[in-house]
Amino acid sequence: MIKVSSVIKKYDDFTALDSLSFEIKKGTIFGLLGVNGAGKSTILSILNGLSRFDSGEIKVFGFDIKKDIKKIKEISSIVPQDLAFYEKLTVKENLDFFAKIQNATKENYDRAIKINTLEDLLNQRASTLSGGQKRRLNIAIGLLNNPQVIYFDEPTVGIDPKSRNEILESIKGYKKLGITVVYTSHYMNEIEKICDDVAIISHGKLVEQGSLKTLFSSKNSNLEKHFIELTEGANV
Amino acid sequence: MFSAMVKKEFLLVLRDKHALMALFVMPAVFILIMSVAMKDIFSQEAVSFDVALVDLDNTKISKEFVADIKKDKSFHIVKKDDAQFVVTLPKGYGNIENTKNPTKVQISVEDSLKSDMIEIFKAKLMKHIVNLKLGIIKTRLSEFSDEAANAVGAVSLSNNELFTLKYNKQDDVPNSTQQSVPTWIVFGMFFIIIPMSTIYINERKQNTLSRLNSMNISVFSMTMSKIVPYIFIAQVQMWLMIAVGVFLVPFFDTPALSINGTVGALVFLSFALSISAIGLSILIAVSASSSEQATTIGGILNILLGAIGGVMVPKFIMPESMQKLADISPMSWGLDGFLEIFLKGGDIFSVLNESLALLCFGGVALMVSMIILHKRIEGGL
């Protein structure tokens, strides 16, 4: 389980996270929703050990983020919104590089290629890939270390519906492998399609958390409508 | 892990054609151009002039004068149309009886000649005229007194007999190739700012550095992995530039580079210089917010350090105050070290001061870079 308790993060006078708390169950796909500037990227950055926070507590599968960040980084992976790989290298060179620096096993290496159907693209320069293929490479890199939890920061931005669908299907597949997925997106239909649980944050605070089924039944509404009601007034 | 990072860095640089042009082709071309273009300025050989002689007098004295000039290696006798100076001996020049209003030698000068060259020519010609006059005086005197005539005849205007001339620091004055090769090695090495900042800022902008950091790659490892390939590149740069100086420059009738010092000194100095250049490049790359900004700042800083440090204008012709100012530039330290090796046959110990200064500069720049990068990653880049 990932447990975020009363986390506060300030940038000078601006409070990015205001006593934020939520829990993510192991082996689920967890949707993190919020308007721009709500604090989604900040909490993802903190969960990956890239940013520090001012107060509060975070435990990732029992490891305290302040004490065991190295261990947490070993069992986590982030797929950033940006295409965080090297365009001048081939697909294989990129995968080889990220695999070697994480001591990835051959099994994990092959699995990352297979899940993201990159077999036929290995010798192609990354710069020549299509938008969807680049996204798949970005995701494959995130799978190399066989993470227990993988964080997706809006992974389907700017790609065609077919590629988006393929990516969403592959993400659903991770759940079967026992990987916990934390997923942020602006597309409510994506969240509805793949997530088990959802947390909605606004102005750095948790507005609502629960399973997708519970949210639907209690509010008798669709997620997008509910999201707009909760975050009304915020800068979407 | 480290080898993978080094390999990645190598591949990225080798696939950047513009970077390779800036690092290898540009300095090599500059060495060729500057060595050839400046060979006369740096030459310490005697000055020679293209001279045409017109003897309208055609007397014994005028013929003696012409013969005397022809013997002088400073004067290269050419046709009138090709001459920088046309020396005309007018009719009556050899008339030694005419003492009240003697006929003068007439000199016409090519328009483009500088005044200092004209002054040198006049001084050289003056020696021959004075020689001629002394000969006439001797002849005249011999009619009255052999002793007096012999005393005049003993007067010599030869440089070797009149004075001795010695350069205080002749070894410090390089020829054009000895000046150009180290200059463009130093300048070229500092040009790594272009590929380094482009790669670094792309990594930063695309969150690849954050991703690496999330994979437990420390800022220290990230920085160190960048140093290794560029040290290798700097070595290749140096030996390529030396090869241009040794093998290519002589094809253009310009002196070849001679390496009087030890290979160990060259490797040690270039290692220190590359650390300095890499440190400064990484510092600019981590501080700048875009690759355009980094290449602009890096370019301006390179030119400034080069101008101060003796790349644009050789240090030995700068005024003393500027020479002191030059000492603040790491390019000047590198240049001094190379000149020590090329000109004076320096070894590792001769270039120890310059090398340690460069290593310290690079070390401080790298440390500051790592602090900035660490803070940037923490702040989400």
Which residues on B lie below 8 Å from A49 (Cβ)?
Answer: 213-214
* Helix/strand/coil percent split, chain A, to 5: 40, 25, 35
- Segment B238-258 shows an average pLDDT of 89
- Mean pLDDT of all residues in B69-76: 85
Q: Which chain B residue's Cα is nearest to A53? A: B378
The CA distance from B153 to B132, in Å, is 11
Question: What is the predicted pLDDT for the residue at B114?
Answer: 82
Q: DSSP character for A84?
A: -
Cβ contact (<8 Å) for B214 and A73? yes
The pLDDT, as a whole number, for residue A218 is: 61
Highest mean pLDDT among A117-126, A223-232, B113-122, B301-310: A117-126
Give the C-alpha separation, B117 to A58, whole Å. Answer: 82
- Least confident range from A181-195, B34-48, B57-71, B107-121: namely B34-48
B12: chain A residues, CB-CB within 8 Å: 86, 88-89
Region at B292 (left for phi over 0; alpha for psi -120 to 50; beta for the rest)? alpha
Mean pLDDT within B44-58 = 81
Of B16, B206, B215, the CB nearest to A83: B206
Long-range contacts, A189-194 (Cβ 8 Å, 24+) = A189/A224, A190/A156, A190/A164, A191/A31, A191/A33, A191/A223, A192/A222, A192/A223, A193/A168, A194/A29, A194/A31, A194/A168
Across the interface, whether the CB atoms of B206 and A89 are under 8 A apart is answered no
Instruction: Say whether pLDDT at B167 is over 70.
Output: no
pLDDT band at B270 (very low <50, low <70, confident <90, very high): very high
Nearest to B211 among A80, A88, A100 (CB): A80
Range of weakest confidence among A58-72, A102-116, B28-42, B183-197? B28-42
Specify the higher pLDDT residue, B68 or B47: B68
Calculate how close chain A gets to B215, using CA atoms only, in Å: 6
Average pLDDT over every residue of B224-249: 90
Residue B163 clears pLDDT 90, i.e. is over it: no
Hey, of B12, B15, B201, B216, which one would you mutate to test binding to chain A, going by the most A CBs within 10 A of its CB? B216
Q: In the predicted model, is pLDDT for residue A236 greater than 50?
A: no
Q: Which of A31-35, A89-93, A117-121, A222-226 has the lowest mean pLDDT?
A: A222-226
Binary contact (B16, A80; C-beta < 8 A):
no
Binary contact (A100, B4; C-beta < 8 A): yes
User: Looking at CA atoms only, how far is residue B222 from chain A in angstroms?
Assistant: 11
pLDDT above 70 covers a percentage of chain A that reads: 92
Residue B311: which of B186, B189, B177, B191 has the closest Cα? Answer: B186
A208 pLDDT tier (thresholds 50, 70, 90): confident
* Most confident option among B64-73, B121-130, B328-337: B328-337
> Which residues are CB-neighbours of B204 under 8 A, at least 6 positions away?
B286, B376, B381
Determine, for residues B212 and A97 on separate chains, whether the beta-carbon distance falls below 8 Å: no
Distance CA A112, CA A145 (A): 9
- Specify the DSSP element, H or E, that contains B130: helix B115-142
Predicted pLDDT of residue A24? 92
* Mean pLDDT over the full length of chain B: 85
The pLDDT value recorded for residue B321 is: 84
A163-200: string of b/e by CB count within 10 Å (b at 16+)? bbebbbebbeebeeeebbbbbbbbebebbbbbbbbbbb
Per-residue pLDDT at B170 exceeds 80: no
Residues of B in contact with A48 (CB under 8 A): 214
Under an 8 A CB cutoff, do B214 and A101 touch? no
Average pLDDT, chain A: 86
The answer to whether A216 and A186 are in contact (CB under 8 A) is no
Q: Nearest-CA residue of chain B relative to A75?
A: B215
pLDDT band, very low/low/confident/very high, at B275 (cuts 50, 70, 90): very high
Q: Which residue of A has its CA nearest to B13?
A: A88
pLDDT given for residue B38 in this prediction = 78
* pLDDT (mean) for B212-237: 88
Kindly determine whether residue A86 and residue B207, on different chains, have CB atoms separated by under 8 Å. Answer: no
Going by the DSSP 8-state scheme, the letter that residue B247 receives in this structure is I
Mean pLDDT, to the nearest integer, of B87-98?
82
pLDDT digits (tens, 9 = 90+) for B341-381: 988 888 899 999 999 999 999 999 999 999 998 888 776 65
In this predicted structure, what is the pLDDT of residue B165?
A: 65
Contacts of A161 (CB under 8 A, 6+ apart): none
Lowest mean pLDDT: which of A10-19, B150-159, B215-224?
Answer: B150-159
The strand ranges marked E within A47-165 are 55-60, 63-64, 76-79, 149-153
